[in-house]
Structures are given as C-alpha cells and as structure tokens.
A and B are shown apart, each in its own frame.
Chain A
Amino acid sequence: MNNLTQMTRLEVVVPARDAPAIRELITSAGATGYTSVSGVSGIGHHGQHSGALLFNEYDTLTMLITVLPPDNAGELIDAVQQLLSTSSGVMFVSDTYVSRPDYFQ
C-alpha cells in the first residue's frame, strides 16, 4: 500500500493513576515511543467520564497509543490484557501502516 509498512497499533484507555504501569509495559516491550492523551472523555462500562479537569489530572482517563512491529506486539498485548483483567480500562488493537518503519523498530 503506497510503499507503507504494516504495523500494529495499540490504544489503551485507563485511569490516569494506572497509566504509569501501561507506559512501563510499552517501554519494556521495546516500543520506540508512545503518545499520551490525558483527560479523555466518553461513556463506558463504568459510566460517564467528563474529560479534562482543570485542577485534577490524577482522576481523569488517559489514552496511550503506541505502534510497533507485529512480531513484537503479541507479548505486549498479552501483558496489557493481563493488567486490564482486574482493573478498569480498554484496549483496542488494529493494523496500521507507517511510512518510516525504522522509526518503530
């Protein structure tokens, strides 16, 4: 596809206080980076979440996005799944395509 390389994209939405554990797993998995979006809003299994709060980053939701080669993604997916088995949060996994694969390896 237009000289693009297939990668695996993980999006994880968790309470901000749980985000350090997810970040630690992402970096331990060898991902070269991630994007963190704090204060995300929406409605989910635990009801409504209002999004960014002016003076409280601790009790909001954070979305972490990372992209890594499909061969390296399996273990990270299993680990995040393990972590989310007993705490609130969601993970979305999808194929994605990147133009500069060396950035993600």
Chain B
Amino acid sequence: MNLILRAQVATAAHDIVPSWPVESFIAVNPLAGHEPRPFETAATPGVILTRSRDSFLADADRGRIVDADLEAALVERVPELGGQLTIGGKSVSAMSVAILDLKTTQWNSPAAAEPPAPWLDEYLATWVSSYLNPDPLWAMPHKRHGFYRAWRTLARWDPALPRTARRTVVELPVEPDAALAWALVKLGVPAEAVTQTLRTELQHLPGWVSHIKWRAEKIGDIDLLSYLSVRLTLQAILGLTGLPSPRGPVRADETPSALWHRAEHVARSIGGSRADRDDIAAVSRVLVTHPVPDHALTWQKAYELHYLATLVDTLRDTDPFTPRPQLQLVMCIDPRSEGMRRHVEVLPGLETFGFAGFFGVPVRFSRYKARGAINSLPALLTARHHLTEHPTHPAKAEDHIMRGRTRDALRRSTHRADSGTVTPFAFAEVSGWLYGAISVLRTLTPTVQARIHRFLTPATAALPSNVTVADAFTLEERAAMAETAVRMMGITQFAPLVVLAGHASESTNNLYQSALDCGACGGNPGAANARASAAIFNDPAVRPLLAARGIDIPPDSFFIAAEHNTVTDAVTLLDQHLIPQSHVDAADTFDRAQHTAAKMLVRERAQDLPGASPHSPARVQGRAHDWAEVYPELGLAGNAAMIIGPRQMTRGVNLDRRVFLHSYQTELDLDGAALETIMTAPLIVAQWINHQYYFSALNPATLGAGTKTIHNAVGTIGVLAGHAGDLRRGLPWQSVGLGDQLFHEPMRLTVIIQAPLGNIGRIVSRNQMLRNLLDNDWITLTARTDPAAPWHRYTPYGWTTAPTALKGT
C-alpha cells in the first residue's frame, strides 16, 4: 500500500464534513471544516454566506433592521470607527457616515447556483449510486472486492466508455493505491501538487464525496481512495486533463477611485453641494475602515443583533419562587418543545424543564425481538450500551410477533412482485383494483386510511413492556446518569409525578422523516431514552445512591415516560401499566392538560404552516397521514437562539418556538461541570442544527437538498434530484421556504447563558471547539451572572458590556 498517497488523500479530504444517510439524518454544519477559521472566510464554490443586499434593505424598510442594529454591528465589526466629521458645515458622527454608506453603496450578491455537472461527474455518480444502493433491483456484481476493483472488472463492458478506453481498463493496476499513483503520473501531476489536485477533485460531487467519507469511517465498504482511483484513472484514460475547478468567490480590493466615488456619494448625500474635496477625503478615511466586501456580514450581524435585542428584552425573572409543584414535565431542548411547555404551563402547579432529548441515556435500542436497532444517542457519541424491552405478557407478545412476521413476509412478496422485471404486469392485473382503491382512500381521506391501517397492523409498541436498563447499565452507571441529569437541569425539588417526554414526528411518504425526529437521539424518536431514564429514576436501588450524593427524591415521586408527536402535538404517556394507583389521578390531570395545550399549539402552528388554517386543527394533525403533503410540519425552521438558564428567565414569554431551551441552575453546579457538559454537547448539537438550517436556506442548490417534488431515493442513503447526479446534502427546500420565499430566517445561533461569567470563560478557554465557534464568529454568546446583573457579550478579548442595540436605546 502507498501510505504517502493515502495520507495525501486524507489531507485533501480533511475539511470535508461526513454526511450521514437520510434514514438517520444528522444535522451538521456543512462548512464545519472551516470552523477553525473566521466565518467570513468560509465561502466555497457555489456557496454564499449571507442573503442579498436587496433582502437586507427590505428588512431595513420594514423595521426588521434599524439604525441602532447597524450601529451595534459596526461597533462589533469595526471597533476603530468613532469620532465626528464636519461635512458641508454639518457635524456628523463617523458611525452615521458608515451607516449611510451601508444603505447606499451597491454590492452584488454572488449567486448560490449549482454549476453544471461535467460528463465525468454524471458517469461517476451513476457508478457510486449503483455500488452503494442497499436495495437495488439488480445487485452490482463484484461488490465484495471494493469499489475500484468492482468498477475495473465491469467497466470493460461499459458502453458509456469508448472502446479504446475499455481496452485500457483491463490493463490498469489491480489495487486502487497503485491505480491512483499510475493516474497521477499519467496526468503529469508533480509530487508537490498531488494533495491540491486531489482536493480539487474532491470538490466535484460533494454530496457523494461527503457520504463516502462517512461510510469509510462507519461501514468501510468504500473509501475516498478507491473513489479517487476510479475518477483519476478515468481522466487519465480519456485524456480529461484540466477539468474545470469550481472557483470560489475572489475578494478584490477596492481601488482608490472606487473608494473616492463612494465617499463622494456619501459626502454629497450629507452636505449636498457644499461638500468639498476635504470633506470627501474625510469621509473616505472613515469608509476605508469598512470596505464594501465587508458590508454583507455587517448587515447580517445587524440582522442577528436585532433579534437578540428583541429576545433579551423579553427575558425577565418571572417567578423566582414556587412551592413544590404537583407535576413536572421535562422535554427536549428542541425549539418545538417551547410551544408545548408554554401552553401546558397554564395548568397551576405544573413546572417544565428542558434537557437534551436523549435524557442523558445514550443507547442502541431495539424493540422486542426486532431485527434492526437504532442508535438513539447524539452523533457526538459512540453507542456502547444496548437497550431492548421485555414484554409483560410474553405469550401475547409472541403471538403478536408471529402475526407481524407474516405481514412482513406478505409485504416482501408483494414488493418483489411489483419490482421484478416482468411480474409487475401480472401483479397489476391481479391486484391493481385493490391498490387503486387503497390509493384513492389514501389520497382523499388519509386519516381514515391511517385508522384502518393501524387497526389491521397494531404496532409492537402498543404491547406493555419494560426496558432493560439493568442489563444495559450497571447500578453505578445508572446512579451517575441520574445525578448528571438532575444537576444539568437544576431540579431542586421533585413533584409527585415527573413526566419525561421525548419527541417524534409522524409523516407519510417523507424521505426526510428522520430530520423531523429528535436530533439528540441521532435523528430517531426519543421514546426509548425517555423510558430508560424514567426506569432509572424509579429504580429503588438508584435512589439511595442519589441520596448519598445529596439528591433526595421523595418516595412519592414517580417518573413516567411520554412522547410528544410534533405533527399532532399530542403528548402520549408511555408504559402506562407502570403507573401506581396512587398516581393515576395525576396522570389523568396531565393528560387533560396536554390535550388542551395541544389544541392551542396546533392552532398556533397553523398560522405559520403553509396551506393550514387555525380554524381546522384536525386537518393540521391529519398531515401526519397525508402521503401528498410536503409540509407535514415546519420542524426546527426559525431556530435562532439557545437559552441556558432557569425556566424563570423565560416562563410566560412567547419565544415563537425559535429557541433551544436548556434548564440550568448555577446553585446546583458550583464547579461548572454540568455547564461544561451543556456547552460541549447540547450546545454543539444545537449549533449543528442551526448551521444546517442556515446554509440549507441560503444555498438550497448546493448545501440544501432542493425541492422534495423531484427527489428520488437511493435506498435509505439519500436522495437525488431527478434520476441521476450528486447525492443531495442538507435539508429540502420545504424545510426552509415556500415558493421562492424563505420562511426560515438564516441567523447564526445566539447563545444566552445565565451563569457566572468566570465559569463560562473558563469552559470556553479549555475547549477548542467552543473557542473556534466563538472567536471565529460562527455563533455568539451573551451572558449575565444573575437576573440582576447586566448582560455581557463574549469577545475573543474578554467580556464586554452589551452593545447599543441590546440596551434597547
């Protein structure tokens, strides 16, 4: 093996962000490879970082961005800007000159367009797709030998290649390392240019390339070396030297005459005809500190600061003291939980908390005797504990499973019949009338069809069962997980009934279903983790250990798992067979409260959901079963901020389901250990999600998946737009926009923390990923020590007092 060449491939691929398959969609920052560098340097070929100038000017016209925001943005970005000028006899501040310049100077927004794919890209995409498709009609031969060797064996018969090329393929080296080395020599690439050449080649087909990188690390059936071997040997064989390299935006320095022209325009706008050359020169000395290429990010900063100022203005210490609550609800930090928490808190004596949706219990979960398993944990972790469930009535469960397997067998046989070469014709003749009727029913009355389907195929989840936490974790591990959860959330007193609610989405015919499930559970429903966590807290062996660590859970406190359906907004209690008789009334009370809250929340969501009406909540909920619906829900669209602090900061405030809410109390975490865990895990997951939405909104063609309406699935790996081409990355357009308008406001995550600034600073100092994100302006951090303290902004040079806009002046 050629180790140097392998190292060069790894170096070339260093900044490529692995892309998870769509079946377990993990939101990532597609430009994460650039995080060690300033945000403004992250523009890559076909990628833009902000909206257009026209969009920002429209925001200024409607008051979404005001002069105070622009001033605050300029203070942050151009700290040297200050002082007064006299222009045409008028005294003006340098700040107002810069703001006028921002509003009047033209700049062109680069287009986020997808470049046309060269023939080689289309050819390779077809081969990679055929090789990786997990459910092909015809399996690709020779797959077991790896991608390069399988291609080398088959390409000799590929009519897409010229005859001479096919003859040459036979003579290529057998091993991918040797083939790549041969191709580089044949293409005349000098040794010192190898890494850069490979990097350029990896910029083509970015969707497939990033998925191959993920696959090489997690599955191992393909790697970038074998992909590049095929790519470069083809170029060498076909003489395709000098493929166009996708070009990134080039930042051109402003010429002195352009600066003068700009200054003249601003000076004349202020002083009219009385502005002379000295005035123009004075203005140009101001404007040179804020060149035109910086304008877009200053507008973006102002756009974000306006939101921050509005948000901070709504935060108040609403309810510092509460007696022992009668009910507690712990929900995921997901912004969708905010709506449910706000509405359900109307019930007196109900307290809510926000916590990462995997409830601190990272597991690989499989249902009772199920064939597959899901990694129900953040993508930041590796699954080490396997959780399953035991039915309370094994005989009934066995019977249920036998019927389920019979149904699966029937389903598989019909799938084979309708996907064969000849059988679909006969199959359509025999069963077309039945499927036709089902299709009509499914289209016209999706909810009725779903009820019939549910009746005919009851899920295993409906069977009473217990999760096997004692098998998955030792007693010490269980106690440690419970302690961590309590300290991270800052729970100081426990209600008689504590509901731990994971969340899941429900939709039909939606390849991006996983993107709507719980991000903290690896793009899976969070019910298993909630059940495991409840079992741990109820474990009589765990409670004495917790008491020894200073956490006294009253004997009458019972924990119950639940699942929040984010399409219907129903919060269903799980494992109801475990509820003691003494807590049945409390459970009923919660059930009634969530039912009322769901009604309110669905009506609220219907105001934003395309095509929905607040007057018909049933139709909004019915979207879960509508196979023609491309907007089952809006997911995390609108996400913009994360608040880490006690619920007292936000209770009673409508945050519009835009904020990740993680509960936290400094008093329970004097050494800052829990805060460090929050800032290095839930915050990172929130940032990944935020940037996924940000870049999918701004770059739907290159970093987003484009419109769902033309998607074709490649097994469970991902989607193509149309029948061929690159694998799409990111979120579909329907997650961020409607028609040609965005409904997601692309803003970098605003993090707000209520904790001692010294603790926060120390945590940032010792964690490089936080330093990268904050010092390079990928996210921002605003904090206060306690409700009475002023807000401070984190900067690479220390804490500063809040900017002008934040003070609301």
Contact = CB atoms under 8 A, between A and B. Distances in A.
Contacts of A76: 3
B396 to A, nearest CB: 37
Contacts of A58: 379-381
A55 B680 contact: yes
A25 B11 contact: no
Given A21-B14, A56-B378, A86-B14, 12 more contacts: A20-B216, A48-B766, A49-B766, A53-B681, A55-B681, A56-B380, A57-B382, A82-B4, A82-B7, A83-B11, A87-B11, A88-B36
Interchain residue pairs A-B with the least CB separation, the first 9: A55-B681, A79-B3, A21-B10, A79-B7, A50-B766, A82-B7, A59-B769, A48-B766, A56-B380
A102 interface: no
25 contacts: A24-B216, A29-B3, A46-B768, A47-B771, A49-B766, A49-B768, A50-B676, A50-B766, A50-B767, A53-B677, A54-B681, A55-B356, A55-B381, A55-B680, A56-B684, A58-B379, A58-B381, A59-B684, A75-B3, A79-B3, A79-B4, A82-B11, A83-B10, A86-B14, A86-B195
Contact of A79 (B6, B217, B677, B763): B6
A25 B14 contact: no
B362 interface: yes
Interface of A: 15, 18, 20-21, 24-25, 28-29, 46-50, 53-59, 75-76, 78-80, 82-83, 85-88
A54 B488 CA distance: 12
B168 interface: no
A62 B210 CA distance: 22
B14 A87 contact: yes
Interface residues of B, number: 36
Nearest to A15: B768
Nearest to B10: A21
Given A47-B771, A49-B766, A55 B362 contact: yes
Interface in B733-790: 763, 765-769, 771
A57 B562 CA distance: 28
In this complex, which of B3, B10, B677, B768 has the most chain A Cβ atoms within 10 angstroms of its Cβ? B3
Nearest to B765: A48
B1 interface: yes
Main secondary structure of the interface of A (DSSP, over half): mixed
A79 B217 CA distance: 19
Contacts of A82: 4, 7-8, 11
A46 B216 CA distance: 28
B484 interface: yes
Contacts of A57: 380-382
Interface in B610-669: none
Interface string B52-92: 00000000000000000000000000000000000000000
Contacts of B766: 47-50
A59 B768 contact: yes
A23 to B, nearest CB: 9
B3 A28 contact: yes
A25 B381 contact: no
Interface string B667-696: 000000000110011101000000000000
A64 to B, nearest CB: 14
Nearest to B379: A58
